[in-house]
Amino acid sequence: MTDCPALPARSPLAVRQTATVLDVVVPVYNEEDDLEACVRRLHAHLTATFPYGFRITVADNASTDRTPEVAARLDDAIEEVSAVRLEQKGRGRALRTVWSVSDAPVLAYMDVDLSTDLNALLPLVAPLISGHSDLAIGTRLAGGSRVVRGPKREFISRAYNLVLRTGLAARFSDAQCGFKAIRKDAAEALLPLVEDTGWFFDTELLVLAERAGMRIHEVPVDWVDDPDSSVHIVRTATDDLRGVWRIGRALATGALPLERLRRPFGDDPRDRAVPGVPRGLARQLVGFCTVGALSTLAYLGLYTLFRMGMGPQSANALALLLSAVANTAANRRLTFGVRGRERAMRQQAQGLVVFTIGLALTSGSLAALGAAGGSASHGAELSVLIVANLAATALRFLLLRAWVFPQAVHTAAADGEHQHHETPGSTR
């Protein structure tokens, strides 16, 4: 894995000291008919509305038509336009190549068809200039967006973003809109980790940025579908799904060094100590409750399924065992932030000890229900189990925090203590 630099604390850009603040990349492949009109329209808009120096870079992805000639002519005719020729195809490859060598502190890209209204460009890059955000994306799926496109592309776009939300827990709303920007320092840290060179490039960039704790700003856009788009929908969708699987597997195994990308401690207001609240407790409670709610639903579903073929005690024990293993793994990763395989088996074993406590409570509750006399209904059994699980939940959280995953708590406390004793001018 290529090493990557740590990010500095967020701060506004010194735009008055930089000749070129914004570099807008237009990746193209066989766009001889549309390229000149696109670049001239973009140049006119930036000249009229953008208050700082800018550059437009045409990144030609191994075009076989007259696109290189058109790009060279624009390079000669307009001072703020430059042309770059790549001998291999791939939008991601083009963006990586230009962004890696650009001297502009803010980097952006947009599709050559200019489907996105250019009035969104300044709102897109303003949060990056001010230091508020690390990346910015145009979104066609926000409430304020105004979009004109056919039902096929609408369905594909929403389905793809649903896959990202469910498969990778992504929180950004629109990964595919060809209208994005990133700060140079964030790009320098992220690009070495991005493997894709095609259409999945910017999705991968966004997922890694989000998992590293970077802030992604979203701008609702006006967007009109280009009916002559050359994008091969089926092939692109297949490649994207492969990319989702690859990234999901890397995140699950802890193969990506995202901790190295995090901002210095204290840059995020959530780092600040709250009197009377142990550091990390609030976030861990939210994660534990979320995992617990999902585990309870899984447990009740498994119990109902197993109850069809076995008695209540056996069904309860088997359902609780399976949900406990999944619960420990989910809490390990999501609630307490423990990555990698180190001590994973030991923590699962400790989780099973915690499971026996839950088993004792729920089994005892079922036994008490049976001792009350009569044949209890399935609804009564579920009600008793829910109450018993709620009673076991608080104890389970305390045991996970204090016994199974104490290193996560101690690390957070040490960070808080370190921040408390640092002098204002010190660095980490």
pLDDT digits (tens, 9 = 90+) for 8-42: 777 888 877 778 999 999 999 999 999 999 999 99
pLDDT of residue 319: 87
When pLDDT is averaged across residues 182-187 and rounded to a whole number, the result is: 95
| pLDDT of 299 strictly over 50 | yes
Q: Name every residue whose Cβ is closer than 8 Å to that of residue 288 and which is 6 or more positions away in sequence.
A: 331, 335, 397, 400
Question: What would the mean pLDDT of 72-101 be, rounded to a whole number?
Answer: 96
Buried b (16+ CB within 10 A) or exposed e, 253-275: eeebebeebebeeeeeeeeeeee
Q: Is-contact 257 2, C-beta < 8 A?
A: no
| Per-residue confidence band for 422, with pLDDT thresholds at 50, 70 and 90 | very low
- At 233, the pLDDT band (50, 70, 90 cuts) reads low
Q: Pick the more confident residue, 364 or 189.
A: 189
Quick one: pLDDT band at residue 341, thresholds 50, 70, 90? Answer: confident
- What is the per-residue DSSP string for 277-341? S-TTHHHHHHHHHHHHHHHHHHHHHHHHHHHTTS-HHHHHHHHHHHHHHHHHHHIIIIIS---SS
Between 4 and 26, residue with greater pLDDT: 26
- Among 33, 202, 225, 228, the active-site one is 202
At 109 the pLDDT is: 97
Average pLDDT, the chain: 83
411-421 residue pLDDT tens: 544 444 444 44
**In sequence order, which residues have a C-beta less than 8 Å from that of residue 403 and are 6 or more positions away?**
350
pLDDT at 45: 97
Q: What percent of the chain has pLDDT over 90?
A: 41
Helix, coil or strand: residue 171: coil
Checking if the pLDDT of 4 tops 70, the result is: no
Nearest Cα residue to 368 out of 380, 353, 357: 380
* CB neighbour class for 320 (10 Å; exposed up to 12, middle 13-18, buried from 19): buried
Quick one: residue 231, left, alpha or beta (phi over 0 = left, psi -120 to 50 = alpha)? Answer: beta
Q: Is the pLDDT of residue 356 over 50?
A: yes
Per-residue pLDDT averaged across 150-157, rounded? 83
For the stretch 316-332, pLDDT in tens is 888 878 888 888 888 88
The pLDDT value given to residue 325:
86
Check: pTM over 0.85? Answer yes or no. no
| Confidence band for 76, pLDDT divided at 50, 70 and 90 | very high
The arithmetic mean of pLDDT across residues 73-92, rounded, is 95
Tell me which of 223 and 375 has the higher pLDDT.
223
| Of 258, 86, 109, 96, residue with least CA distance to 187 | 96
113 has catalytic annotation:
no
Region 182-211 average pLDDT:
93
pLDDT computed for residue 377 by the predictor: 76
